[in-house]
């Protein structure tokens, strides 16, 4: 188990757009909810507002665009070399909208986390809110998972459920799911930083015990967190 006297977990965060989960992680580190340090924020989009959030927090930024490379393979190789140079203890995908190649995923196996706006394995991929509303589902939510070569695959660590309201639009539903993400993602990263969470060969352990199903966290009230599973 890590303690506050131990070196902080080093992170590199990959983003493509707003960086709202990045901001939640920055805040959680500042509030000592995560014993960590973000070494760099990397984006494939030079106009990503999340880059401004990183710079305001004094975090180094790097931009690498797919259009700057002759082939996708060249881009993927450069991205791996760029992130690997920081030697992070954990790579965090926070709205990174490109699929990572197998070389990247394999290199950071067991230390590569993603957030996805659905209760995986339901609704991998894009437009989860529209698909949930079209299906008239009663519940939506978010998942934090270790990344594998399968799209939105890899073992799921934790989930938070969000009720779907009768009058929900994609925007109103996404706002509530993102609010859950901003609480759940820092929580899971905090587990990893303290040595509570580990992933080896697609097997997750939490507090030294096999995690056979995702931990379900209910954020019922700002002052109350209910943990189950």
Q: Please identify every residue annotated as catalytic.
A: 116
d(CA 138, CA 94): 26
Contact indicator for 93, 114 with CB cutoff of 8 Å: yes
Gyration radius (Cα) of the chain, Å: 17
**Closest to 177 (Cα-Cα) out of 145, 203, 139:** 139
Count of Cβ atoms closer than 10 Å to residue 175 Cβ: 13
CA-CA-CA-CA torsion sign (169, 170, 175, 178):
positive
């Amino acid at each position: 188990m890590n303690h506050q006297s131990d070196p902080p977990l080093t992170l590199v965060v990959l983003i493509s757009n707003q960086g709202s989960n990045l901001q939640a992680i920055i805040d959680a580190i500042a509030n000592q909810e995560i014993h960590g340090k973000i070494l760099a924020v990397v984006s494939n989009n030079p106009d990503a507002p999340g880059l401004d959030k990183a710079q305001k927090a004094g975090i180094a930024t790097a931009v690498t665009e797919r259009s700057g490379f002759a082939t996708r393979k060249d881009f993927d190789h450069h991205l791996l070399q760029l992130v690997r140079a920081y030697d992070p203890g954990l790579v965090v995908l926070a709205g990174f909208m490109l699929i990572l190649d197998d070389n990247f995923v394999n290199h950071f196996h067991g230390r590569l986390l993603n957030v996805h706006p659905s209760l995986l394995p339901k609704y991998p991929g894009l437009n989860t809110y529209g698909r949930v509303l079209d299906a008239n589902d009663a519940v939506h939510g978010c998942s934090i998972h270790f990344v594998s070569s399968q799209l939105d695959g890899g073992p799921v660590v934790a989930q938070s459920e969000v009720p779907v309201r009768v009058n929900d639009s994609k925007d109103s539903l996404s706002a509530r799911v993102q609010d859950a993400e901003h609480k759940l993602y820092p929580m899971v990263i905090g587990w990893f930083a303290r040595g509570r969470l580990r992933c080896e060969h697609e097997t997750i352990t939490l507090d030294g015990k096999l995690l056979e199903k995702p931990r379900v966290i209910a954020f019922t009230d700002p002052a109350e967190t209910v943990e189950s599973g």
